Structure 1
Amino acid sequence: MPRIPVHTVEDAPAEAREGLRSLAQKMGKVLNIHGEMAHAPVVLAAYQGIQKAIEEHGTFDARTREAIALAVGAANDCAYCQSAHTAAGRAAGWSEQETVRIRSGRVDFDPDLDALLSVAREITSQRGEVEERTWKSAREAGWSETQLTELFTHVALNLYTNYFNHYAQTELDVPKAPGLD
């Protein structure tokens, strides 16, 4: 059972309504995570601020962004984000099997992406620390220092949502990702 009320656009705090309305239009409905974030407008605004920065300044395509989200969600064991990003990953062009493999860390079908996701998984699981060999492998795979720096923002956004879902005990309102208990 969720710890935080899930708001609709109509009953959300006034400061959160426009942001929640925007997300509902983008997603087709108010997702539970967004409705919960709206309970404290600062939470929703911070989330949307990071998203806006990525939209305006980010360079990764949708497939790469979703692969990062899947890898981070799996590293954090966030069922909600793994499920939501499985659907978004499918919309971005990944097959269901590829989303499962990305989540499990078996990205042998794209060694360059695997190198990037290895950095993302280490940032996540090692509290920001990345082994030198992992960094070097990503650089050798062609990822620039700028892209590896940008990666940190994508990981941070996903950490934000993963941790919020654990904290709020968000109930799943999207199709459950394959392989989750």
Structure 2
Amino acid sequence: MPRIPVHTIDDAPADSVAALQKIAKQTGKVLNIHAEMAHSPVVMAAYAGIGDAIAQHGSFDARTREAIALAVGAVNSCDYCQSAHTISATRAGLTQEQTLAIRSGSVIDDPALDTMLAVVRDAAANAGSVEDTTWTAALDAGWTATELTEAFAHLAANLFTNYFNHYVGTELDVLAAPQLRS
């Protein structure tokens, strides 16, 4: 159950409106997560800021970004983000089976991406710490120090939304992600 009501563009605080409009244009509608973030202009600005930084300076393709989001969302048991990013991930070229594998912590037969996902899973599960063997495997798979550093921005962006959803109890307003097999 949500702890705070969702805003619309018409009733959001004035300092949140521009960011809310921009995000709604990108997503096609005002999603509950953003409508709840709008209560606090600082939350909207922080979310938009990291998103803008990734858009302007990031080097990962949509497939990689969405795979990272799914992996982090699964580690953090964020149903909202796993659902939203399953939709985005399939649009970015991942199959439904790959999204399920990523969420379950399995490999997807993309050795380079699998090693990157191992890095972000490790970091998400261990307060940012990554095992040296995991890090080295990613380097050996071809990821550069710059790319592994960039992955931290994606990790932080996803931790921000995962934790926000848990914090306020965001209700799902997108198609639920398929259930993981036991």
Name the SS for the 2:45 alignment partner. Answer: helix
Give the gaps of 5 or more residues in structure 1: none
For residues 35 and 154 of structure 1, the distance between their equivalents in structure 2, rounded to whole angstroms, comes to 22
Equivalent residue number for residue 33 of structure 1: 33
* Backbone CA RMSD of aligned residues: 1.1
Q: Say if 1:66 and 1:92, in contact at 8 Å, map to a contact too.
A: yes
CA contact (8 A) 1:24 1:30 kept: yes
2:148 paired residue number: 148
Misfit runs of 4+, over 3 Å: none
Which residue pairs with 1:11 in the alignment?
11
- Which stretch has the larger CA shift, 125-134 or 107-116? 107-116
- Contact 1:9–1:20 (CA under 8 A) maintained in structure 2: yes
TM-score under structure 1 length normalisation: 0.98
* Structure 1 residue 180, shift from structure 2 partner: 5.8
- What is the alpha-carbon distance in structure 2 between the residues aligned to residue 60 and residue 77 of structure 1? 24
CA shift digits 1:96-115 (9 cap, x unpaired): 11111111111241111110
- Measure, in 1, the Cα distance between the counterparts of 2:55 and 2:80: 22
- Determine if the alignment matches structure 1 residue 115 to structure 2 residue 115: yes
Separation of aligned partners in 1, 2:10 and 2:141: 48
Kept in 2, the 8 Å contact 1:81–1:162? The answer is: yes
CA distance in 1, matches of 2:76, 2:34: 19
**Higher mean C-alpha displacement, 108-117 vs 68-77:** 108-117
- Corresponding residue for residue 21 of structure 2: 21
Asked whether the 8 Å contact 1:79–1:180 carries over to 2, the reply is no
Match of 1:73, SS state, is: helix
